[in-house]
């Protein structure tokens, strides 16, 4: 049975790193796995969109459609998107059905430290507008199935927490 595991959190919080690690283990165990990542999707499926609230919501709406199709075809979808708005995440959960939300919680200071692209620095200098965590809000999940604290946990610990939660919820054996 498929499921969408939705990783949400600030830019550079560790969403992609943890999901890639979990994907590798799941594939090694014989599961059908697809990764949907914000950076990758914006190069193709949603390359026409910017970062206004309207465009962000449309971005997640399109990704939700793809994740729903994959999930109902017995694929484990590991989706990594900032997805800063609680209402849009709620709609995504309802549309997909088999869904597990993972809040990748990390201090903004640690996110800035990890930012190899210099996005936070540019946003603070006013070079990037509507940047989540700087001049655009991030609404923390109200009731995620799992919270990772990537500024305190190792990659292995966070990955294992994801796999354990998936097993506990009956998505994997």
- Residues sharing a CB contact under 8 Å with residue 21, sequence separation 6 or more, in sequence order: 155, 156, 158, 159
Sign of the dihedral through C-alpha 11, 103, 34, 19: positive
47 tagged catalytic: no
Catalytic residue among 47, 83, 107, 158: 83
* Pairing of β 33-37 and β 146-149: unpaired
CB 79 within 8 A of CB 7: yes
Q: In sequence order, which ranges of the chain are alpha helices (DSSP H)?
A: 15-28, 38-41, 53-72, 86-96, 108-114, 119-124, 155-168
Please, are residues 12 and 114 in contact by the beta-carbon 8 Å criterion? yes
Catalytic positions: 83
């Amino acid at each position: 049975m498929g499921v969408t595991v939705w990783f949400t959190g600030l830019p550079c919080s560790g969403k992609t790193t943890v999901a890639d690690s979990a994907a590798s283990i799941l594939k090694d165990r014989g599961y059908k796995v697809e990764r949907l990542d914000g950076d990758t999707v914006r190069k193709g499926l949603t390359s026409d969109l910017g970062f206004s609230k309207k465009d962000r919501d449309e971005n997640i709406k399109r990704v939700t459609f793809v994740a729903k199709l994959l999930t109902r075809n017995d694929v484990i979808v590991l989706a990594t998107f900032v997805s800063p708005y609680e209402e849009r995440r709620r709609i995504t959960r309802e549309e997909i059905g088999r869904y597990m939300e993972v809040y990748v919680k990390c201090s903004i200071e640690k996110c800035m430290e990890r930012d190899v692209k210099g996005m936070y620095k540019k946003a603070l200098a006013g070079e990037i507008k509507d940047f989540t965590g700087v001049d655009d809000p991030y609404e923390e999940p109200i009731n995620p199935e799992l919270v990772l604290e990537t500024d305190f946990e190792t990659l292995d610990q966070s990955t294992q927490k994801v796999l354990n939660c998936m097993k506990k919820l009956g998505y994997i054996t």
